[in-house]
C-alpha cells in the first residue's frame, strides 16, 4: 500500500470504515463505467435498453448503500488521530 500509513494497528471501527471506503470507491467506478458505456451508445446514435437502465439503477443503488455505510462507519470513529490516519490512507 502506498503512503506512510497502513491499516495495521487501527481499531476495528477504523478497519471497517476503510473497507467501506474501498467498497464505495468500487461501486462508484462501476456506476461511472456503466454511464460511460451508455454515453458511448448515445454518441453512436443508439439508446440504452431496459436491461442497461436497470443495471444503471442497480449500480446506483449499490453505490448509495455504500456511501451510507461509509458515512456511518466514519461516524463510529471517535478518535481524531485515527480519523486523520484514515484520511491519509484514503488520499494515497
Task: Please tell me the predicted confidence (pLDDT) of residue 3.
Answer: 42
Greatest extent of the chain over all pairs of C-alpha atoms, in Å:
53
Inside any domain, residue 52: yes
Q: Tell me, what's the pLDDT at 71?
A: 97
Q: 76 lies in which domain range? A: 12-91
Contact (CB, 8 A) for 87 and 4: no
> pLDDT at position 8, please?
84
Asked if residue 5 belongs to a domain, the reply is no
Backbone phi, psi, residue 74, to 5° = -65, -35
Q: How many residues does the chain have?
A: 92
76 and 13 in contact (C-beta within 8 Å)?
A: yes
Residue 2 has a pLDDT of: 39
In a domain, 53, yes or no: yes
Note whether residue 6 is domain-resident.
no
Which residue stretches of the chain have pLDDT < 50?
1-4
Q: What is the pTM of this model?
A: 0.85
Number of domains in the chain: 1
> What pLDDT shows up at residue 1?
37
Amino acid at each position: 500500500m502506498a503512503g506512510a500509513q497502513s491499516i495495521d494497528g487501527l481499531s476495528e471501527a477504523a478497519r471497517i470504515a476503510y473497507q467501506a471506503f474501498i467498497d464505495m470507491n468500487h461501486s462508484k467506478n462501476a456506476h461511472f463505467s456503466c454511464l460511460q458505456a451508455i454515453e458511448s451508445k448515445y454518441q453512436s446514435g443508439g439508446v440504452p435498453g431496459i436491461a442497461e437502465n436497470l443495471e444503471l439503477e442497480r449500480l446506483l443503488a449499490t453505490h448509495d448503500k455504500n456511501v451510507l455505510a461509509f458515512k456511518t462507519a466514519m461516524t463510529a470513529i471517535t478518535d481524531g488521530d485515527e480519523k486523520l490516519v484514515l484520511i491519509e490512507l484514503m488520499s494515497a
